[in-house]
Amino acid sequence: MQIGEQSEWGSFGILENVYTCFNWLTAAKHPWKYYQYLSGTDLPIRTNLEMVRIFKALNGSINTDVSDYEVNRYKNMEGVLPPIPIYKSSMSVVVPREAADFVIVNPRVKKLLSYLRKTWIPDESFWTTVSGSPALLPVPGAIRVRDILWLRKHFKLRPPDVNTVDSIGTSYIGRYQVWGWQKDCYGKIKDFSCVFGVEDIEEIMTRPELIAHKLYLEFEPAAFMCMFKEIRQRAASPDAVKFSAKSYSEMPTVELLKGKTITQLTHPHWLIRDSFYNPEQEEIDRAVL
């Protein structure tokens, strides 16, 4: 496998190298079902059994963050029409194999990659863009992102107060990350993002996401080791088989893929926040539940 560019933050190299890995994975004979993007500072907060059941609950849907694309990210491509509408997301994503097989050979995806090469932080513009316009790019597991953005714009819904495995409260479970403007960080802030410390662990272990980002072994290593130990103990527990992924099957993105409209969702308020939300900028009618 040849690596093109260095995977430096904000560079096209991150996206190019992940796409190269996709080439290798889709050619592999191993019958893998889902691809999950991880970085070197991630730590799982779900056991292997839990992840398998969650992936099954996703039912072939792509799990990615959904945000409006920021104008300043066009960089040298402002005024040049992209091959499909562009949205912002996170590089962390969960993708079914059918989608990977489609993405790796589709000519419009290749045109998108060429377009994004000249934009800012292209790795945060790829997944939701690829999976957000099924009428133009029928990727397996894709849904209409414009419906989600429409709901956020026209409906005043209160964001969920609870985020647990029994009440997910979100449609993005790729990873749990706290930005410096969102809530208290009991570790330290690096590159605007919380490096979790020991006092963050109690909340993290109740979250529904697949992984936590980010933890450093050289910073409060007890946080890393305690989380690692907790996951190992949970995996070996006789109660491990009792884990239910039912709530994950009720995520709006899963229901949209099954054919529900945006107004028929079981939990439309789970869509209100993206992972970059700023609570100080939210305009929520507190009388609306």
pLDDT at position 88: 95
Domains of the chain by residue range: 1-32+62-142, 40-58+159-275
Q: What is the pLDDT of residues 134-158, one digit of tens each?
A: 999 999 999 999 999 999 999 889 9
Residues facing 62 on adjacent strands: none
pTM of the predicted protein model: 0.92
Predicted local confidence at residue 288, as pLDDT: 47
| 116 touches 68 (CB < 8 A) | no
The pLDDT profile of the chain, 289 residues, written as one tens digit per residue, is: 445 677 777 788 889 988 888 889 999 999 999 999 888 899 999 999 999 999 999 999 999 999 999 999 998 888 899 999 999 998 889 999 999 999 999 999 999 999 999 999 999 999 999 999 999 999 999 999 999 999 999 988 999 989 999 999 999 999 999 999 999 999 999 989 999 999 999 999 999 999 999 999 999 999 999 999 999 999 999 999 999 999 999 999 999 999 999 999 999 999 999 999 999 887 655 444 4
> Cα-flanking dihedrals φ and ψ of residue 123, to 5°?
-65, -20
The encoded tokens of residue 225 equal 């080791």
Look up residue 236 and give its two tokens: 């070996």
Ramachandran assignment for 250, one of left (phi > 0), alpha (psi -120 to 50 degrees), beta (any other):
alpha
pLDDT in tens, 217-262: 999 999 999 999 999 999 999 999 999 999 999 999 999 999 999 9
Is 196 in contact with 223 (CB distance < 8 Å)? yes
How far apart CA 67 and CA 196 sit, in angstroms, is 24
